[in-house]
Amino acid sequence: MSPYLAEFLGTLTLVLLGNGVVAAVVLKRSKAEHAGWLVVVIGWGLAVTLAIYAVGQISGAHINPAVTLALAYAGSFSWDLVPGYCLAQLAGAFTGAILVWLHYLPHWPATNDPAGKLAVFSTGPAIRSTFSNLVSEIIGTTVLILGLLTIGANKFTEGLNPLVVGLLIISIGLSLGGTTGFAINPARDLGPRLAHFLLPIRGKGSSDWSYAWIPVVGPVIGGLVGAWLYQLFF
């Protein structure tokens, strides 16, 4: 399998399962409605774990442009492959969001809250503050990259690395995710936001494009900072 196709499928899996758990918790008349933040965070951690298991041996399972850029900056990934990886990740996230929409099709008209519908697709701030929201995404993604690089430097029983990465995602979500919903991944936010914008969802409201740059720029900066700090201290 092409590594680009692997990144597409890996990111699709990530968004299908990650955004899927948000839909389960947020959309009306779902059996998981009101299950809460802990369920969402654990769902995202498991989504990352399963996506890595699915394509890790083929493409490295970056499934995140911030990871791809950080690894290229650190010298462990070819810059020539970066554009293709990022485009594949964005396309995978967009497609995964469409599948979530299809899966929960009867629940959209049953849900009257436009903000809740958008939350299924993309992140948003608990308190809107451009500087603070950007800093939150930078810090969260810095921790992500430092965690990934330090996990990679340790030896685990074969096959356990994806589980450890999933625990890293859960930790970031529980500790740092309450401010912005911890996008920490430009494709995970932008691809589904585009899907929200284009899909015929009744009463969906705005796609909040004025905020959309924060979960793109913040993770990119945070990824580069994380790679720089790792090179500086490890």
Region 203-227: what's the mean pLDDT?
Answer: 98
Ranges of H-type helices in 104-185: 107-110, 114-121, 130-152, 161-176
- Confidence category of residue 66, pLDDT binned at 50, 70, 90: very high
pLDDT per position as a tens digit, 75-84:
999 999 999 9
What pLDDT sits at residue 157?
60
Asked which of 52-56, 101-105, 149-153, 229-233 is least confident by mean pLDDT, the reply is 149-153
Q: Which residues contact 104 (CB under 8 A, 6 or more apart)?
A: 20, 23, 24, 27, 30, 120
pLDDT per position as a tens digit, 144-201:
999 999 998 777 666 889 999 999 999 999 999 999 999 999 999 999 999 999 999 9
Region 118-129: what's the mean pLDDT?
Answer: 98
Task: Answer whether residue 60 shows pLDDT above 70.
Answer: yes
Range of the domain at 93: 3-233
Number of domains in the chain: 1
This prediction has a pTM of 0.96
At 58, which CATH number?
1.20.1080.10
How far apart are the C-alpha atoms of 234 and 229, rounded to whole Å? 8
